[in-house]
Amino acid sequence: MDTKTLCDGILDGQRRALSKAITLVESARADHRVQAAALLEALKAAQASPREALRIGLSGTPGVGKSTFIESFGMALVREGLKVAVLAVDPSSARSGGSILGDKTRMELLSREAGAFIRPSPSQTELGGVARRTREAVALCEAAGFDVVLIETVGVGQSETVVSEMSDLFVLLLAPAGGDELQGVKRGIMEMADLILVNKADGDLKAAANRTRADYAAALRLLRKRPQDPDGFPKALAISALQEDGLAQAWAEMGTLADWRRAQGHWARTRANQNRHWFMEELRLALLAQLTQAGPVRDAVARLGDSVASGTTTPALAVQSALALLHP
C-alpha cells in the first residue's frame, strides 16, 4: 500500500491499514523509516484537530493478573462503546519468545471484538527501538480513532520509564500481599504510578487485597505530592479482574484524573514534553544508527577500528577521523 492509501485507510478506521502501518513503523529499513515519517506527517496534516486517545500505561510483575485485567477492563470499555487498542512494550519478548504468539490467546474475548485492536510486542530486544515503534504505533492508533490505548509492560528493567514517557496515565497493577513488601516493584515505578490497582480482591484473597490497598493508599499519601496530582491522588483501589469488580470505578477515577489534568494544563504540558523527549531520543538513535547501518561509513569506521585494535592509531585520533568522514 502506498502512503496515501494507508493514510486514508487509517483515518477511516480500517484495521488492515492500521496493521500494515504498524508493521511499517516497526521496520528498521531506511526506506521504511522515510515512508513511516511521511505517513505520520500525512496523518497529522489530514486532521484539523488531531484525534487524541487516552493513553494508559500499565505495569505489573508477572502473576498479578495483567492479561485478565486487560481482558476484563478492555471488554468493559468496549461495552461502553469505546474503541480500545492494546500495545505492549516488552524488550525481552524476543528472548522469551512467548508473548508474540501469546498476546491474542491470553485476551481471547477482547481479541474477537470489533472495537478492540491487540498488537503483539515487536520482536526486538533493543529497548530504544521498541520504544520508538510503540510510540509511533500509539500515534497510528490515535489517528485510527481509538479512544483508549493501553500500553502494557512487564515490571522489569527500564521499560516502565519508557511506557510512562508515552502515557497520559500510568497504572500499576499489584497482587494482595503484606504491606511491608514491595512485590518486586521498584520504588521508582511506585513513584510514577497515577493509580494503583490491587487485583484479586475476590474469594480467599479479598481481605488481603483490601488490606494491601489500604497500606498502599496510606503509603502513597505519605510519600508523594506531585503537581500533576489533584487532591486524593494517587489513589489505590482493590479490584477483581476475574469477577469484573471495581473496573467501573477504576475507569471513573482515570476519567477524573484526566479531566483535572486537562483543565489544569498538565495534560498539554506533559504531551509537549513527551514529544520533545521522543524527538531527542530518536535523533540520538538515528545518529548512532549511522555506525551500524551497512554502507561506506560503517566500512570506514570498521577499518579505523582495526587500526585502533592493532595499535596503529589511538582511539582519540581515530574518532576525529571518523567524525571527519561523517561530516565531510
Decide if residue 284 touches a second copy (CB under 8 A): yes
Decide if residue 272 touches a second copy (CB under 8 A): yes
Which range in 31-39, 89-97, 122-130, 249-257 contacts a second copy by CB under 8 A? 31-39
Residue 247 CB, nearest approach to a second copy (Å): 32
Residue 274 CB, nearest approach to a second copy (Å): 9
> 44 or 226, CB closer to a second copy?
44
And the C-alpha cell for 297?
561509513
Q: What are phi and psi of 263, to 5 degrees?
A: -65, -35
Decide if residue 316 touches a second copy (CB under 8 A): yes
Pattern 210-249, binding to a second copy, x per CB under 8 A? Answer: ----------------------------------------
Which range in 78-86, 192-200, 238-246, 300-308 contacts a second copy by CB under 8 A? 300-308
In the range 111-170, which residues lie near a second copy by CB under 8 A? 135-136, 139
Decide if residue 293 touches a second copy (CB under 8 A): no
Rounded Cα gap, residues 178 and 209, in angstroms: 9
Decide if residue 30 touches a second copy (CB under 8 A): no
Cβ burial of 25 (10 Å; 0-12, 13-18, 19+) is: buried
Q: What are phi and psi of 209, to 5 degrees?
A: -65, -40
And the C-alpha cell for 15?
484495521
How does DSSP assign 114-130, residue by residue? Answer: TTEEE-PPPS---HHHH
- The single residue among 232, 276, 295, 299 that binds a second copy, judged by CB under 8 A, is 276
Decide if residue 33 touches a second copy (CB under 8 A): yes
Q: Cell 577499518 identifies what position?
A: 303
Q: Cell 566500512 identifies what position?
A: 299
DSSP-derived 3-state class of residue 221: helix
Rounded Cα gap, residues 291 and 304, in angstroms: 12
Decide if residue 105 touches a second copy (CB under 8 A): no
Count other C-beta atoms under 10 Å from residue 275's C-beta.
12
Residues 6+ apart with CB under 8 A from 292: 298
Residues that bind a second copy (CB under 8 A): 33-34, 36-38, 40-41, 44, 50, 135-136, 139, 271-273, 275-276, 278-280, 282-284, 286-288, 290-291, 301, 304-306, 308-311, 313-320, 322-323, 326-327
